Amino acid sequence: MGGAEPESVDVDRLPGWVTLLRAPNPGPMTLDGTNTWILRVPGEPVAAVIDPGPLDEGHLRRIAEHGPVGHILITHGHHDHVEGAARLAELLGGIPVLAGDALDAGRPLTGNGLEIQVLKTPGHTSDSVCFLVEHEDDRVMFTGDTILGRGTTVVARPDGDLRDYLGSLELLTAYPGVLMLPGHGPARDDTAERAHFYLGHRRERLAQVEAAMAAGADTPAAVVDLVYPDIDPGVRFAAEWSAAAQLDYLRARDRESATGPGRLDRP
């Protein structure tokens, strides 16, 4: 999808305190499946889990084998990340699940030998967060679906918002050289580089949608017909979600520039 992608990181090069368990739910929206991340510093009594994934008993039991776990963290409320949370919490003895408003961007979670900072990164969904985790010299960014390891992500109305999303990508450009561990697809060695790649992709797409609007496309379906003529029917609905978000964004920008002050940021 537009532009060369940087090399992925071999999973063998993950920090020793990070384990990946991939859920058995591959598909067009989930790539190889949801990535469940287990964070355990050697010698510490409890681990943390990021995104339990779907309600799949086998997957959840594999995660629970890595217990004891202190808490379960959620990057956002999509079912392929959170559906198994209640069952996993039960398997682990009734531990807390922290998501959405329960996560405070101003107050890092400490313990387990880790410092976990919450970055509010709305856009893919309104409740999306990233977790910046530090241990000794390691800094790792868990990005959920805000940035994937491969391909691009969806900004779906009404919950997702393209203006918020572009702001979140800008925020993530402040983390050069920080290992990126996404909700789907492979690890990437540079969060900022990947955020810049996504921003470039979004600007390219917005320019294409602007051209389609100028050519008379005024619905998401009409935009998709012009911009993605060869689209796989299995992911057409996702392209229409994205096109709807792009139309909203461009129309809001045009309205604001027509009415004077309070101009929107450049895409």
**Residues found near Zn ion in the complex (CB under 5 A):** 78, 145
* Closest to Zn ion by CB, 35 or 191: 35
* Closest to Zn ion by CB, 145 or 190: 145
Quote the tokens at residue 147.
């940035």
Percentage helix, strand, coil, to 5, in the chain?
35, 20, 45
* Closest to Zn ion by CB, 182 or 220: 182
Number of H helices, E strands in the chain: 7, 10
* Closest to Zn ion by CB, 127 or 190: 127
Task: State the minimum distance, in angstroms, from the CB of residue 11 to Zn ion.
Answer: 22
Amino acid at 64: A
Task: State the minimum distance, in angstroms, from the CB of residue 46 to Zn ion.
Answer: 27
User: Measured on CA atoms in the order 180, 184, 24, 8, is the torsion positive or negative?
Assistant: negative
Contact 53, 59 (CB under 8 A): yes
Alpha helices of the chain — where are they, by DSSP H? 57-64, 79-82, 85-91, 162-172, 191-214, 220-227, 236-258
* Closest to Zn ion by CB, 56 or 135: 56
Task: State the minimum distance, in angstroms, from the CB of residue 159 to Zn ion.
Answer: 10
Nearest to 213, CA basis, from 171, 250, 239? 250
- CB neighbourhood size of 87 (10 A): 16
Task: State the minimum distance, in angstroms, from the CB of residue 267 to Zn ion.
Answer: 22
Distance, in Å, from the CA atom of 113 to the CA atom of 135, rounded to the nearest integer, reads 7
Through-space distance between the first and last CA atoms of the chain, rounded to whole angstroms: 19
Task: State the minimum distance, in angstroms, from the CB of residue 145 to Zn ion.
Answer: 4
Task: State the minimum distance, in angstroms, from the CB of residue 223 to Zn ion.
Answer: 22
